[in-house]
Structure 1
């Protein structure tokens, strides 16, 4: 692995040493699953399940932390099957959806979900006309289980230009309904405030009494998680940050201890971490 610096190498070595008390958090889209034109077609890397099952018994817990609804992520990633294998091996496997507002555990297989945010249903009813009035009628609207809505520009003729036009329009509309926006790779999401992956990371650390935190992500929605791990590290915890690299997004590169080549690189990292943790000392 090509670490960002000698400090990053030392952080990785500390992680290996303290892995038994570590929580490994991973984003879904762009990290475990390749980015695709239609979000409904996203499926995790074919070797990701084996890597997660291999690593989970060696750490405190593995958690998928995603902006997707839990049920959608579990279905697309076949995470129920992966979770069953992890639980059988004595590991802990969690899925935190909607930036941590939803929770699913492989042990009890129950989805704990909040109420829909006020204003979202009204905004969604207004969206088609709003987009048409600004020449964005071809943008794809994705409902996220009644807790958020995402507008994708990836299928449009000029996806980057369309997103540049879309972002301030959605920001204004979201504010008028007491909501916030989260930009991503050719997508802008609208959701309730207070829903972010940084809060999810801090919650996982407290609930599981973790001594080390890892986070692997690829996009702007993962910035809060990266910042949360960096903050915990400043407080004396072991922390390690991995960027699933792409040509579309560079926001996490400078914050990462390790940059890997998309989901292929993420899976290779998970296998390597498991091998290093399992290797006898000396």
Structure 2
């Protein structure tokens, strides 16, 4: 219930709802959806999905998902409402509508990507419980289901194979190691969304270290909400994805009750 939210967060959300054009951008895994062992099993909490759909139907309100997932994977697990814009692969993939171009690595990037995929495949073959996720411009080593020893060994192996090559951007997240041949982050993705939609204020919620780029890109008057534990530059925090529906429902109610009437 919204009454359970911190008072300062409630006040900030209600004030944000009055902006002329609102951008509501959400991370998916660990934010809209609880973290699960198998990435393909993740689904948004029903109330969060319903609130996002309702927000996407409002005038002068743009919704977006900003995820580390590849866009193809994000579309399957999130099933976002049609107007929702998408940023995938930590900002490397951006879908702003039917005219958006598909991400295609250059020949040099494709060569480097093959090297990264080979290194991750080697780690997966050696260490039980690890798995690879393929992206258009990267590859991810997942080790949530591996033992602590095997997971760390897999990470060390991939880092040793690739860390000295400047062609790669290597980032860590919650039990994942991601290698990309395109340098991008969620902050850049959020800035692209803001520019393309002409948003006058932004709401962003995320849970992982990769979301800190997005929190850092927020402007005065925006609202950033960290989901869960960990250091953050976000001004607000909730305990888990199960509190997000209350935040989104409060934003929806406040925006419906007058926010869209401001010019």
TM range (shorter): 0.7 to 0.9
Q: Does 1:174 align with 2:152?
A: no
Report the Cα offset of residue 125 of structure 1.
1.6
Q: Does 1:97 align with 2:88?
A: yes
Label 1:130 to 1:36 Cα distance change in 2 as closer, same or farther (>3 A). Answer: closer
Cα offsets for 1:46-104 (capped at 9, x unmatched): 2222111222215531110111111111111122xx22xxxxxxxx4111111222233
Label 1:181 to 1:121 Cα distance change in 2 as closer, same or farther (>3 A). Answer: same
Residue segments in structure 1 that go unaligned for 5+ positions in a row: 84-91
Q: What is the 5 A alignment of 1:20-39?
A: 20-39=20-39
Cα offsets for 1:8-40 (capped at 9, x unmatched): 66643431221x412111111111111111111
Label 1:31 to 1:269 Cα distance change in 2 as closer, same or farther (>3 A). Answer: same
Which residue of the partner structure matches residue 65 of structure 1? 66
Which residue of the partner structure matches residue 198 of structure 1? 187
Report the Cα offset of residue 165 of structure 1.
4.6
Contact 2:190 2:214 (8 Å CA) reproduced: yes
Label 1:47 to 1:9 Cα distance change in 2 as closer, same or farther (>3 A). Answer: closer
SS in 1 for 2:183: coil
Which residue of the partner structure matches residue 230 of structure 2? 250
Task: State how far apart, in whole Å, the 2-side matches of 1:70 and 1:131 are.
Answer: 23
Label 1:32 to 1:261 Cα distance change in 2 as closer, same or farther (>3 A). Answer: same
Contact 2:120 2:139 (8 Å CA) reproduced: no
Contact 1:174 1:180 (8 Å CA) reproduced: no
Which residue of the partner structure matches residue 105 of structure 2? 115
Quick check: 63-72 or 45-54, which moved more?
45-54
Count of residue pairs the alignment pairs up: 251
Contact 2:206 2:225 (8 Å CA) reproduced: yes
Provide TM-score, normalisation by structure 2: 0.84
Contact 2:224 2:235 (8 Å CA) reproduced: yes
Structure with higher RCO (Cα < 8 A, 6+ apart) = 2
Q: What is the 5 A alignment of 1:199-218?
A: 199-218=188-207
Which residue of the partner structure matches residue 129 of structure 1? 122
Task: State how far apart, in whole Å, the 1-side matches of 2:135 and 2:182 are.
Answer: 16
